[in-house]
Amino acid sequence: MSSCQAPAVRLEGKTTASGRQYSIFYPQALHIRVLTRRPEAAGPRVQLSVAAAYTDLDSSEPLDLLVSPGRAVQPKATVGFLDGALTITGDSLRISLIPRGQSPPGAELARVQRQHGTLLLQELLVFRGRNVRGPGGSFFQRRALTELPNHRFAVVESQADDLTMQQFAADLLELGALNAINLDMGGWDEGWYRAGTQVVKLGHRRTDTNRQSNWLVFEDPTAQ
């Protein structure tokens, strides 16, 4: 990438009224995929990589990754607390709400399979402009895939390590989120993005990097 070209991932820092600082990564005309093999940082194709679904601690497999890509990984949801679905078909992204403890409808799973797409379950943070997280919970650095007005998507990451999901969701609303779905963090927080020829690591802990089972990646389809 030459110095005169616009970056494939535009980084913007924002601060909320309460003083919490966030990094917002805006993919620029990149394709999005979910991988179950660690993405290569050496080549120019992947421009941004972050953990996506949770990892099952017993099997070390992605937790409730139902279709990937086009292949049925699981016939139904296995845990009862995930209430958000991320659907990727072609270049189309959709964040939706599902009842806790239930699977997306079979017709939806079949549609995603036919279109060789991906569907995974995660915890929903914001839905239709409303904070859907209850009070309490653990304190962590937080990261989300966020839908902004005009169907723009960005990855939003907190600088602080002491946020509950409810606090994070409130800040996402302040930052303009219409919908937002959680991304795996804690010890699984390793990510990276490409700034020109430099690969910049993300995440504060990275203690379970070797156990990460799936990644949300943004790719430059023109890169060789």
Per-residue pLDDT at 5: 72
> In whole angstroms, what separates CA 14 from the centre of its chain?
19
pTM for the whole structure = 0.95
Two structure tokens written together for 197: 């020829």
pLDDT given at position 4:
58
Q: Is 23 helix (H, G, I), strand (E, B) or coil?
A: strand
- Are the CB atoms for 32 and 46 separated by under 8 Å? no
> In the chain, where does DSSP find H-type helix?
106-114, 165-174
Residue with tokens 């940082």: 41
Name, in order, each residue with C-beta under 8 angstroms of 37's C-beta and a sequence gap of 6 or more: none
Q: If you average pLDDT over residues 162-177, what whole number do you get?
A: 98
Interatomic CA distance for residues 86 and 103, integer angstroms: 12
Q: How far apart are CA 15 and CA 92, in angstroms?
A: 29
Q: What single-letter amino acid sits at 184? A: D
Pairing, β 31-35 against β 215-219: antiparallel
- The pLDDT tens digits for 117-158 are 999 999 999 999 999 999 999 999 999 999 999 999 999 999
Geometric angle at alpha carbon 150, from 145 and 156, rounded to 5°: 25
Give the pLDDT mean for 207-218: 96
Domains of the chain by residue range: 9-61+124-219
pLDDT of residue 91: 84
| CA distances (Å), origin 86, targets 2, 62, 66, 148, 164 | 34, 14, 10, 15, 21
> What is the pLDDT at residue 1?
43
DSSP per-residue letters across 72-108: BS-SS---SS--EEEEEETTEEEEEE--TT-PPPHHH
* CB 157, CB 143: distance < 8 Å: yes
